Amino acid sequence: MTTARRFSGIYCPNIVPLEKSGEIHEAELRAYVDWLIVRGVHGLYPNGSTGEFTRFTAEERRRIIEIVVDQAAGRVPVLAGAAEANTRETIAACEHYAKIGATAVAIVSPFYYKLSSESVYAYFREIGANTPIDVTLYNIPMFASPIDLDTVRRLADECERVVAIKDSSGDLPFMMSLIAAVRPNRPDWSFLTGWDACLLPMLLMGCDGGTNATSGVAPELTRKLFECATTGNLDEARKIQLRVTRLFDALFGAADFPDGFRMGVSLRGIASGSGRTPRSERQRAGEAATRQQLTALLAEEGLS
């Protein structure tokens, strides 16, 4: 075990551009991957929550990873969202993503049902024992069964293939406790935060990076924040964090998550298309105004 494989930087949980018909728009997804890499994301994270993994079929999820890995072509690492309907299907996805060259996978805790800590442990333990590819635990308590401190510690102790956690709770004391509990025995473990509004303090407290939806719309900004934070330019970092938060809040509030981020991506010039969630007449009526507000905000940031 070395620390060589630690993740570092901002991974983009990319949305998937869609055709008018609702199909995956492969050409535009490839263009978006290029666009993100050119603008400085440190890695890609397809099939995350921002990537709406639950709204694609199992086949589509595989195709998305294949396209992204192929297009990234080794320029940046790819963390592939691999959660499927059950343990067997998830392990099969891990095997596939290992074969096609993903860097690692991220697996969200079981959702819909609220599992006990012990069941969450058993789920990841089973995967950890059978995966041929490194696994990142994905903790997002607002959507899925929480992964608690003791569960992370047990998995870190028992599963060499479990190498990281991505936490979207934004709970800083929890993250600090996690790092303190796990790092001594597993210096190879990475800690990533998924809550953009506290990216800076998370980095200052020891996180290796983040998987941040804002990086899909403003990769220049999140890159700069990461660099200021890691080079000790705290004053500048604080200012950029406030801008990131303002943008994140606006994108988060623009529509039901993650549709605001899809809208933001389209305002950057990517033909992201409409999401797969139907919109009511009332919702459609309000979209022009929302789009205008986001446009103004992006313009203020010099991102139009």
Site for a copy of itself, rule CB under 8 A: 22, 49, 54-58, 85-89, 110-116, 118-119, 121-123, 125-126, 142-144, 170, 172-173, 176-177, 180, 195, 197-198, 200-201, 204-206, 234, 238, 241-242, 245, 256-258, 276-280, 282-283
Write down the least CB distance from residue 204 to a copy of itself, Å. Answer: 6
What are the φ and ψ backbone dihedral angles of 162, each rounded to 5 degrees?
-90, 115
**3-class SS at 261?**
helix
Write down the least CB distance from residue 11 to a copy of itself, Å. Answer: 20
Nearer to a copy of itself, 170 or 210 (CB): 170
Distances (CA, A) of 179 to 167, 173, 185, 186: 12, 10, 10, 10
Write down the least CB distance from residue 76 to a copy of itself, Å. Answer: 27
Sheet of strand 190-193: strand arrangement: 43-44, 9-12, 209-211, 190-193, 162-167, 135-139, 104-108, 79-81
Longest pairwise C-alpha distance within the chain = 55
Q: Which tokens hold the place of 10?
A: 């901002």
Write down the least CB distance from residue 75 to a copy of itself, Å. Answer: 30
Nearer to a copy of itself, 31 or 172 (CB): 172
Nearer to a copy of itself, 242 or 296 (CB): 242
Number of other CB atoms surrounding residue 5 within 10 Å: 15
Nearer to a copy of itself, 31 or 274 (CB): 274
Write down the least CB distance from residue 29 to a copy of itself, Å. Answer: 17
